[in-house]
Structure 1
């Protein structure tokens, strides 16, 4: 049951906004950045802004650079380490044997 109202969903003062109402837009600079997967990203910067050396690729998240032939390398992710792996980095086998012997002596009541 349409009422035939042509301006339904509009508000007073709504209309096409152009440069006259918004003012002049700032001069912009579009640069291309490429990631290691070959994705191209073209963000816009103000003409007087400092342009960063790298930009995060919105498709894969890798860092992207302005040189298409030599993009930045993807970050190296470290594998998950267990608690035992961290302990083995800090202690040698001889240290572990000494600590184990001391703990067993405490349990047996020798110390």
Structure 2
């Protein structure tokens, strides 16, 4: 059995939790944001604070706006591209064949020397 003079449910330095002791809360407003998946985020802002046009959804992380009927579109996720894929975007098959033939000719020339 634990003994001592500690008061259960409190900690050292804990004080009363009433509004009178903490002071008045700042006036604030709740703003609703809607994401493309239908989630609603409702953060509070001070009345004199500038409210952002977009907000990250607290459930899925997608961008959200204040327009429920017209939420922002989901961002496009580009798949990973290899170095070869980027090279193929810049060069045609004919260019690649010409470069390969040039490199092979240089290699054959070095072997003869």
TM-score bracket, normalised by the shorter chain, equals: 0.7 to 0.9
Counterpart Cα distance in 1 of 2:50 and 2:66: 14
Counterpart Cα distance in 2 of 1:42 and 1:10: 32
Give unmatched runs, 5+ long, in structure 1: none
TM-score with structure 1 setting the length? 0.86
> Over the residues paired in the alignment, what is the CA RMSD in angstroms?
2.0
CA offsets 1:29-64 (integer angstroms, 9 cap, x no match): 101111111101001111111111111111111111
2:86 is aligned with 1:73: no
Q: 1:28-47 alignment to 2 at 5 Å?
A: 28-47=28-47
Residue of structure 1 equivalent to 2:11: 10
Shift, 1:20, TM fit:
2.7
Shift, 1:6, TM fit:
4.6
Residue of structure 1 equivalent to 2:27: 27
Counterpart Cα distance in 2 of 1:23 and 1:90: 65
Residue of structure 1 equivalent to 2:106: 106
Higher mean C-alpha deviation, range 80-89 or range 34-43: 80-89
Counterpart Cα distance in 2 of 1:43 and 1:94: 57
Report the count of equivalent residues. Answer: 110
Give unmatched runs, 5+ long, in structure 2: none
Shift, 1:2, TM fit:
2.1
Counterpart Cα distance in 2 of 1:10 and 1:58: 32
